[in-house]
Structure 1
Amino acid sequence: MRGLLAGAAVGLAVLVLVPAAPAWAHGGDAPDGTDYRTVVTSVSPAPAGLRVRAVEAGARLELTNRTGTTVEVLGYENEPYLEVRPDGVYENVHSPAVYLNETLTGTATLPPAADPTLPPSWRKASSEPVARWHDHRSHWMLSSPPPAVAADPGRQQRVRDWVVPLRTGGVTAVSVSGTLDWVPPPRGGVWWAWSVVFALVVAVLGLVGRLRRLVGSLSVRSSSLVPSVSPLWVLSVLSGASALGGVAAVVYAVGREIDAGNDGVGALVNGLFASQIWPVLTGLAAVFASGYALFRRPAADFALALAGVCVAIFAGVSNAGAFTNGVVPVPWSPFVGRLL
């Protein structure tokens, strides 16, 4: 039990000491899943050092500028919207896109200063030459699907092709082209049913030892009433399930951060601490509880139960959108994401 308390103290200390979300961490409105797949297909012409891609399951576009010159993103009325300079990102406070792109739905109220006809007024937004923004040209904003999708929702189909205009060096026009596709959602009820079945199996296994003791106390010796399974074997199986669940929670959290565009170990770790701290902590706690139980420490069953509930809530239910959406925010196949 002292080991559990020490682990909890370390987890709380990490949570308190975690720095504020860095500029490259994904936004708080990153979807847990979507039925629309956004893909950047080309950047033309493509200067060396310029990279544009879709991140966060297509919710944002990311532009990384290593060209040594300024790259300008144009807004919805071809007004200057963003400047990604070598020393950071600047936004034009007179561009309506600055305010419309704050949310995934684009429902912001425009202030009087949002006038695309005014000369640009630049405000620094980041010290890194990396910009991420909701670009409503590249994703579907309405709650209702397009008419073609509504007519045939079971078929994967193209919703539209899209283009985001850029300028490099203030003069050279660059086009970022991409596609937006409808991906039919899976049968969510099937995934939920298997989850419930697995939970019931775990619950039954957890009760086996207590049931044997109860039946033994009543002097009932019929093997047909009580499974011939030793409590030690049951504890080993539950410990394995706890370890598997903990590893799956951490792997899924890592996958979400990779999908959010966090390349490299440093960016990945920062992203995990900033946005996936609870799935990671509960996943590691489940692995720790597994080892704790295998050593037959006091209150091992309680440790497994607590870890299991926390993983189910913070890493399972919180990511349940993967069960009902065609696009899962991980860099692997949607099936692997749902399985995790």
Structure 2
Amino acid sequence: MIAALLRRAGLVATAALVTLLALATPAAAHGADAPDGTDYRTEVTGLTPARPGLTVRAVEAGARLELVNRTGRDVEVIGYSGEPYLRVGPGGTYENSRSPATYLNRTLAGDTPLPPEADPAAPPEWRRIADEPRVRWHDQRALWRESGPPARAAADPTRAHRVRDWTVPVRDGTEQVEIRGTLDWVPPPDAYPWWVAATLGFLAVGAAGLLPAGSVAGDRALRAVGALLALGGAAAVVLVLGRELDAGAEGVGGVLAGLLTGQIWPLLTGLGAIAAGGYALARRPAAADFALALAGACLALFAGFTNLSVFSRAVAPVPWSATAARVLLVLIVAGGAGAVGAGVLRLHAASRVTPVRPDPAAATPEPHPSA
């Protein structure tokens, strides 16, 4: 009786936690306003003329440009009206609070209202924003900000189209330098096969929960679900690492700092899924079923559903191909959601088992004939 009550309590707790996590999912989305996927590829082709020690690249799936200045002297990024916008050098990074670009570039949409002090014709007022000679910023010259695709892409959506060749001016002392790059529209993939693969994977993993617990087949099913959940957790960790690398993190310290600040929930859910999968592989009590359901729910919500746009976008926020990112996402969704289904089915089946109570009459010894 007590065991049945505990199993029912596990079901209630699982449902409550899943609901809570579902409500909390938007807050767990990736930091800043980096896109989860896009159909526009922004690339930096170089600096003209080249400057040894000065490097620029696109990060966060092209949402930002990153400039690193190791020249030992200050350089200035020029704003949209020809005014000094950013200053990067040995003393750190500064932004001009009088430049309209300082406010327009704070969001990917470029919709921050301009304060009264924003005046490109006014003398610069520099405000320190970083200690290192590195800066990242949204730049509207390298982005497509319209709601619909370019006219050529709308007319022929079957192939890639060059939207524009863009330049961002930089001042190195008295010399003018240009950051040059390209912006292309890339046809989005067909999301249907990826949804089918994720759904079939979810159903296959979840169906393992229909096998009776305690039987040989049920024990094997539990271990199989645990292994697939661990695989989904590993895929989540790889995807999180890819996002951090695409965001420009460098070195072990930089990657760890980025993970702990902007990717902590997806990372923890991936590691938790690996741990829960290992627990299911090593043990077979109802506690393993509960661990599968809870870890699977966290994995599907925090690492899976928050990245679903990867299925339908051409460019994923990872340093490798978007196809590889979609394969990882299928493993995450199938393993996480499937573990929820299998764990809940097993807990529900265990809660319906009626314990066999001993018969008091059978337990009473019969009187001896000689008595």
Q: TM-score, normalised by structure 2?
A: 0.78
The answer for the alignment partner of 1:258 in structure 2 is 245
1:244 aligned to 2:231? yes
Cα distance in 2 between the residues matched to 1:281 and 1:129 = 31
Cα distance in 1 between the residues matched to 2:326 and 2:165 = 28
AA aligned to 1:311 is: L
1:161 aligned to 2:165? yes
The answer for the alignment partner of 1:140 in structure 2 is 144
> Is the 8 Å Cα contact of residues 219 and 284 (structure 2) preserved in structure 1?
no
- Consecutive unaligned residues of structure 1, counting only runs of 5 or more, are 1-25, 214-228
Runs (4+) off by over 4 Å: none
User: Residues 224-249 of structure 1, C-alpha deviation per residue, up to 9 Å, x if partnerless?
Assistant: xxxxx712221221111011001000
User: Residues 140-180 of structure 1, C-alpha deviation per residue, up to 9 Å, x if partnerless?
Assistant: 01111111111112211111100000011x21111110000
- State how many pairs are aligned: 298
Aligned to 2:65, the other structure's residue is in SS state strand
Cα distance in 2 between the residues matched to 1:329 and 1:66 = 27
1:199 is aligned, of 193, 196, 202, to: 202
Aligned to 2:202, the other structure's residue is in SS state helix
Aligned to 1:184, the other structure's residue is in SS state coil
- Consecutive unaligned residues of structure 2, counting only runs of 5 or more, are 1-29, 329-371
> Is the 8 Å Cα contact of residues 227 and 281 (structure 2) preserved in structure 1?
no
Aligned to 1:199, the other structure's residue is in SS state helix
1:182 aligned to 2:182? no
The answer for the alignment partner of 2:35 in structure 1 is 31
Displacement after TM superposition at 1:289 (Å): 0.8
Aligned to 1:167, the other structure's residue is in SS state strand
Cα distance in 1 between the residues matched to 2:201 and 2:284 = 25
Distance 1:134 1:78, change over 3 A: same
Structure with greater proportional helix content:
2
AA aligned to 1:240 is: A
> Is the 8 Å Cα contact of residues 222 and 284 (structure 2) preserved in structure 1?
no
The answer for the alignment partner of 1:316 in structure 2 is 304
The answer for the alignment partner of 2:351 in structure 1 is none
Cα distance in 1 between the residues matched to 2:31 and 2:300 = 23
Cα distance in 2 between the residues matched to 1:152 and 1:209 = 54
2:76 is aligned, of 72, 77, 88, to: 72
1:288 is aligned, of 259, 263, 275, to: 275
User: Residues 95-123 of structure 1, C-alpha deviation per residue, up to 9 Å, x if partnerless?
Assistant: 11001001111112111111111111111
Cα distance in 2 between the residues matched to 1:30 and 1:98 = 18
Cα distance in 2 between the residues matched to 1:91 and 1:291 = 49
Displacement after TM superposition at 1:27 (Å): 5.1
The answer for the alignment partner of 1:307 in structure 2 is 295
Displacement after TM superposition at 1:206 (Å): 1.6
Q: TM-score, normalised by structure 1?
A: 0.85
